[in-house]
Amino acid sequence: MKDFFKNGGRQWPEFILAAAFFVLNVILALTLPYYSAHSRYYDSGAYVVVLSAAFVTYTLYLLAAKKKSTSDIAVLLFGFFLLWELSFKLGLVHNDLLIPSPEGLFHVYVEKPKEILADVWGSLRLLFWGFLTAAVFGTVLGLLAGWVPRIREVLLPVSKVITLIPPLMFSAYLIMLLSTFRQAAIAVIFFAVFWPTFQGTVSRVGQIDPSIIEAARTMGVGTVGMLFKVIFPYCMPGIIQSISGSLRGAFMCLSGAEMLGINLGIGYFIEKYKSFADYRCVLAGIVVVGFVTTLIDILVSRVKKSLIHWTY
Amino acid sequence: MTTAEPKIAIRNVSFDYVSEKKAFPALQNVSLEIREGEFICLLGASGCGKSTLLSLLNGLQRPRSGEITLNGKPIKGPGIDRAVVFQQYSLFPWLTVKGNVLFGIRQSGKKYSRKEREDLANRYVEQVGLTAAADRYPSQLSGGMKQRVAVARALALESEVLLLDEPFGAIDPKLRLELQELVSRLCVEHRRTVVFVTHDLDEAILLADRIVVMAPGRIRNTLPVSLPHPRVREELIRTEEYEKLHRQLIMAFYDQVEETIDAGVAL
């Protein structure tokens, strides 16, 4: 708590402003009715809970922050929510079909929690299998190609051509080739992650310090041992970097892959409510995607740090 | 008096560096015998072939002609019977100080239990004075500390022969003195046969039982150093033997430098 006050006083005014926006927003959500009769009224409970959760997280973050940090982003965020709320409560938006009210948007999570959870879980499973197989195969093949020139001279040019084709382009053919839409979706994610991982691994093996290899050879490390005991650990940082870098591509392909025709997944959720013209649910789905991908991103960078701690 | 079998025998060895069209002779008909437990310093200016000779000894290069034997058997490639310390440290960046030493212990092929390995690693780390830094990674170490780890890792292999290629070339003079004494002490303690490449006269006198002065491509002469081990630098520099050796080496060295220059002009 002491640190919070000590933080140069810099974040104080911003914190107060953000807090004021938050409190005003909650009061508005709980009391004032909509001005426009064309907007459907939703119970504001879910919205208030989300807003409060955001504010508590922000406050805890500030208290835990070691560095002097500004709160501009919190001011903007809570300001945005307040404006959104106000535009409904003051009647600036007359129809909530295209622009849902904040209460309406977050109410989706109360209406269909099971559906959303099932879809998120479905997406994560697709992502997991595609990502895992691609990371393993990409690394193994990349190490081999990096170490054996003959394999490299075949695979590297091929990979350079194929990576230029967006993996989603394969989807039409993959659906025909593989027995289920699910497998096709996994395959698309696989290709989005496999080639970057492969190329990253190959180039990292190429950059290996020859004196390290020589030292290992003088210590009696043989060809196979070299690959696993020396080259793999040496290349770990590069491999992890390219794998985590291709995560973004995997997310993109995931949503695309889910539109291939499988009936589960958050991409499918968005696609479905788009065709019902229920943009409230579409937006709610997009928010979930943002939330989940951010969580995965944080998780991956944590794992990254613990796996290659010697570079930090 | 000649001892029965030399530990290492280099017989009429020649080696060329081959570029696209030309071959540059690096060693021509070099012969040398090294006794068991002997500390040899290969001394010479840059480009005289001393590092080349060492890379033939460690097996990373093969001679064009001639033969090198260890315990009577020809050297066919790198092996754990010869441990190497490189000038550029060549530590494994993903392993800690202790991890690097443990790698050496594992490669030694000796059957140790997990506990024995740990104890042994701790001992080697202690011997090079790095106990406090045992859990640090190479990127967090200074040059001198890195080279200590490299020495500990090489000792951990428990090879009979230790080959060092200008190990202290990149280390500042004060630290170099410390490391020289460390290596001198450890090699006597562990009874290793050592070949140490250097271009530093004092280093050679401090460490060697025999100094092999190299001229471009060949051995110019060898000087035995009969000073007793362990040698302490401050005492050493006051002895007559030291002054004599120093003089001889300077003479040999200057001739050789001139030769190198002549060769350069001739090319």
Does the pLDDT value for residue B1 go beyond 50? no
Q: A145 and A70 in one domain?
A: no
Which chain B residues are within 8 Å of A308, Cβ to Cβ?
94
Q: A150 and A31 in one domain?
A: no
Nearest CA in chain A to B163: A218
Q: Any chain B CB within 8 A of the CB of A209? A: yes
- Could you say which of A215, A233, A310 has the minimum Cβ distance to residue B90? A215
Number of domains in chain A: 2
Cβ pair B94:A209 closer than 8 A: no
Distance between CA atoms of residues B150 and B90, nearest Å: 8
Domain that holds residue A51: 2-111
Predicted pLDDT at B227: 83
Predicted pLDDT at A238: 87
Cβ pair A310:B88 closer than 8 A: no
Mean pLDDT of the A71-85 span = 90
Task: Assign residue A279 the CATH number of its domain.
Answer: 1.10.3720.10
Q: A303 and A187 in one domain?
A: yes
Cβ pair B92:A219 closer than 8 A: no
Mean pLDDT of the A121-146 span = 92
Q: Any chain B CB within 8 A of the CB of A217? A: yes
Q: A136 and A80 in one domain?
A: no
Q: A119 and A87 in one domain?
A: no
Mean pLDDT of the A73-100 span = 87
A113 with A107: CB under 8 angstroms? no
Predicted pLDDT at A224: 86
Q: A84 and A133 in one domain?
A: no
Confidence of residue A166 (pLDDT cuts 50, 70, 90): confident
* Span of A164-168, A223-227, B126-130 with lowest mean pLDDT: A164-168
* Span of A40-44, A150-154, B137-141 with lowest mean pLDDT: A40-44
Q: Any chain B CB within 8 A of the CB of A212? A: yes
Predicted pLDDT at B267: 38
> Which of A204, A217, A218, A230 to mutate to test binding with chain B, by most B CBs within 10 Å of its CB?
A218
A/B interface, count of CB pairs below 8 Å = 58
Nearest Cα of chain B lies from the Cα of A307 at a distance, in angstroms, of: 10
B264 or B45, which is more confident? Answer: B45
Of A111, A136, A159, the last residue of a domain is: A111
**Is residue B267 classed exposed, middle or buried when 0-12, 13-18 and 19+ CB atoms within 10 A define those classes?**
exposed
Of A66, A87, A111, the last residue of a domain is: A111
Q: A134 and A31 in one domain?
A: no
Mean pLDDT of the A228-232 span = 92
Predicted pLDDT at B176: 85
Predicted pLDDT at B256: 60
| Highest mean pLDDT (candidates A40-44, A53-57, A164-168, A254-258) | A53-57
Predicted pLDDT at B257: 59
- Could you say which of B94, B96, B103 has the minimum Cβ distance to residue A234? B94
Confidence of residue B266 (pLDDT cuts 50, 70, 90): very low
Architecture of domain B1-81+162-168+177-267: 3-Layer(aba) Sandwich (3.40)
Does the pLDDT value for residue A214 go beyond 70? yes
Q: What is the mean pLDDT of chain A?
A: 86
Domain layout of chain B by residue ranges: 1-81+162-168+177-267, 87-158
* Span of A170-174, A191-195, B63-67, B247-251 with lowest mean pLDDT: A170-174
Of A91, A111, A131, the last residue of a domain is: A111
Cβ pair B139:A311 closer than 8 A: yes
Q: A286 and A144 in one domain?
A: yes
Cβ pair A220:B78 closer than 8 A: yes
B interface with A, Cβ–Cβ below 8 Å: 58-60, 78-80, 82-84, 86, 88, 90-96, 103-104, 107, 109, 137, 139, 153, 157
What is the amino acid identity at position A206? G
Q: A19 and A48 in one domain?
A: yes
Mean pLDDT of the B238-252 span = 85
Percent of chain B topping pLDDT 90: 43
- Could you say which of B90, B107, B139 has the minimum Cβ distance to residue A211? B90
Predicted pLDDT at A4: 53
What are the helix and strand counts (H, E) for chain B? Answer: 8, 10
Each residue's pLDDT tens digit, B131-169 = 999 999 999 998 889 999 999 999 999 899 999 999 888
Q: Name the token pair of A261.
A: 């025709």
Which chain B residues are within 8 Å of A229, Cβ to Cβ?
103
Q: What is the pTM of this model?
A: 0.79
Q: Any chain B CB within 8 A of the CB of A222? A: no
Nearest Cα of chain B lies from the Cα of A310 at a distance, in angstroms, of: 6
Nearest CA in chain A to B104: A219
Does the pLDDT value for residue A126 go beyond 80? yes
Neighbour-count burial for B224-246, b at 16+ CB within 10 Å, e otherwise: ebebeeebeeeeeeeeeebeebe
Nearest CA in chain B to A235: B94
The ipTM (two decimal places) reads 0.84
* Span of A103-117, A164-178, B20-34 with lowest mean pLDDT: A164-178
* Span of A9-23, A52-66, A274-288 with lowest mean pLDDT: A9-23
Nearest CA in chain B to A309: B94
Strands (E), chain B: 8-18, 23-34, 39-43, 65-70, 73-74, 82-85, 161-165, 193-198, 210-215, 218-224
Q: A190 and A95 in one domain?
A: no
A12 or A195, which is more confident? Answer: A195
Predicted pLDDT at A2: 52
Q: A223 and A85 in one domain?
A: no
The DSSP element (H or E) to which A85 belongs, if any, is helix A72-89
Rounded to 10 deg, the angle between the A113-147 and A279-307 helix axes is: 40
Predicted pLDDT at B261: 54
Predicted pLDDT at B258: 59
Each residue's pLDDT tens digit, A183-211 = 888 888 898 899 999 999 999 999 998 99
Confidence of residue B104 (pLDDT cuts 50, 70, 90): very high
